[in-house]
Amino acid sequence: MRCPTPTLMEDYAEGLLSESEARNLENHFGRCAVCRRAVEDRKRWLDAFRSLPPLELPAGFARRVTEAAFPPPRRRRRLLPALATGLASLSLIAMILIATGVCSLPSLMTGSGRLLWRGLQVSASLGAKVVTLLAALFKILAQILRLAWEGIETLTAAVPPHVHVLALVSLAVLTGFFLFGYRKYFVRR
Amino acid sequence: MCEDRELVSRTLQGDRNAFEMLVLRHQQPLFNYLGRLVGERETAMDFTQEVFLRAFAKLESFRPDYKFTTWLYRIASNYVIDHWRKKKIPCLSLDRPSGPDGKSGRCEAIDPSPPVAAGLEKAELKKRIERGLERLTPELRELFVLRHVSGFSYEEIAEIKRQPAGTVKSRVFQAKETLRRMMEERS
């Protein structure tokens, strides 16, 4: 028998050959020391390939994947039920107060009306203060913008018109880069 | 112990425990496979999670007459190939010949190489293989990992890659020969 091809030797080393094919090769290996050493070397490589250490996964990985696949149901809005419960509780308290004679219905209505009116007054005053503050901030911003505009006017008066055009073109290019991205043209990934 | 098919059908009915069992069963081999392909632990972990989520999203298309593992690894393989394409790592088709001269990488001559593995310690061999794997082309690395790390048969790999078993076998052989050659060059 001629010396077997490397693929045949590899098949033998992997145990893919039939019994008779394997026996034929073994007979040859008994006579040919070169092939015997080569097939032993192939077997050693295969053992080494198979014994590469496994990479360890962190604990709880499967749980994490499952949670990502089955996200918890979104919490339903509870504002309306809470509001309804609050109103119902208030009505109940009012009924108890009236039934036990602590206060009468007209006095209860007057009292709650006053409370509501006071609340409205406080909210209106707070709103007015917020508006005043916003107006003051707006005035400051307008002053800053006016100063900036005057500065630009002074600067542009001092430079010739073609520099204006150059500055405007540069500004347009920079804006284009900023909006459409320049990395894909200049930065190699 | 439940079969994969049963776990799949329970998952489709909304049983999250069944899905968790599927993940537990396949996570380690899949992570090993992806880890050996991408070479970075964190990336491999993200990829493993993403592959399971893709499998979950496509679970209705799984046909029970197929093997779940083959189906899952096909998703994983496509995901990794997409990643390589995005990163512009050149990917050859298995249909194309691999050699620069257009010939396939088949090697049928008598093996003249001296036995290298015999002269090396096991730990050293493993280290060299790990380093060599990183230098293999992505396609050869993937086929090698499927065969010799994940332990799939050539027929299963052919099913995963949708390629003839003969082509797969000759490419795995080529991967091993390339690895061996690298080891020999280093020693």
What residues in A contact B118, CB-CB < 8 Å?
A: 37, 40-41, 44
At A182 the pLDDT is 63
**Mean pLDDT, residues A95-106:** 84
Per-residue model confidence (pLDDT) at position B25: 95
pTM: 0.62
Shared-domain flag, residues B121 and B74: no
* % residues pLDDT > 70 (chain A): 93
Per the model's pLDDT, the better-predicted residue between A64 and A108 turns out to be A64
Residues B79 and B122 placed together within one structural domain of the fold: no
Of B68, B86, B104, which marks where a domain is finished? B86
pLDDT digits (tens, 9 = 90+) for B69-125: 999 999 999 999 999 888 766 544 433 444 434 344 333 334 444 455 555 676 777
Chain B nearest-CA distance from A22, in A, is: 18
Contacts of A71 in chain B (CB under 8 A): none
Partners of B106 on chain A (C-beta within 8 Å) are 7
Q: Is the pLDDT of residue A155 over 60?
A: yes
Distance from CA of B36 to the nearest CA of A (A): 9
pLDDT (0 to 100) of residue A136: 96
Backbone φ, ψ for residue A66 (5° rounding): -65, -40
Q: Please identify, among A50, A71, A86, the residue that sits at the C-terminal boundary of a domain.
A: A50
Scanning every residue of chain B, which has its alpha carbon at the shortest distance from the alpha carbon of A46? B148
Kindly determine whether residue B115 and residue A37, on different chains, have CB atoms separated by under 8 Å.
Answer: yes
| Chain A residues touching residue B41 (CB < 8 angstroms) | 55
Torsion angle in degrees (nearest 10) through CA of B63, B65, B69, B74 = -50
The two tokens of residue A28 are: 């040859």
CATH code (residue B142): 1.10.10.10
**Per-position DSSP letters for A50-75, written without gaps between them:** HTPPPPPPPTTHHHHHHHHHSPPPPP
Per the model's pLDDT, the better-predicted residue between A115 and A185 turns out to be A115
Higher per-residue confidence, B108 vs A141: A141
CA distance B54 to A162: 59
Enumerate the H helices of A51-160 as residue ranges. Answer: 61-69, 79-100, 105-158
Domain-embedded: residue A145: no
- Residue identified by tokens 């088709």 is B93
A185 interface with B at CB cutoff 8 Å: no
Range of the domain at B125: 117-186
**pLDDT one-digit tens code per residue, A55-99:** 888 889 999 999 999 887 776 677 888 899 999 998 898 888 888
Interface residue A178 vs chain B (CB under 8 A): no
Cβ pair B106:A7 closer than 8 A? yes
Judge residue A58's burial from the number of C-beta atoms within 10 Å of its C-beta, 0-12 exposed, 13-18 middle, 19 or more buried: exposed
Pick the residue with more confidence: A127 or A90?
A127
Domain stops at, among B69, B86, B103: B86
Question: What integer pLDDT is reported at residue A157 of this predicted model?
Answer: 86
C-alpha–C-alpha distance, residues B88 and A158, integer Å: 52
Q: Do A65 and B53 touch (CB under 8 A)?
A: yes
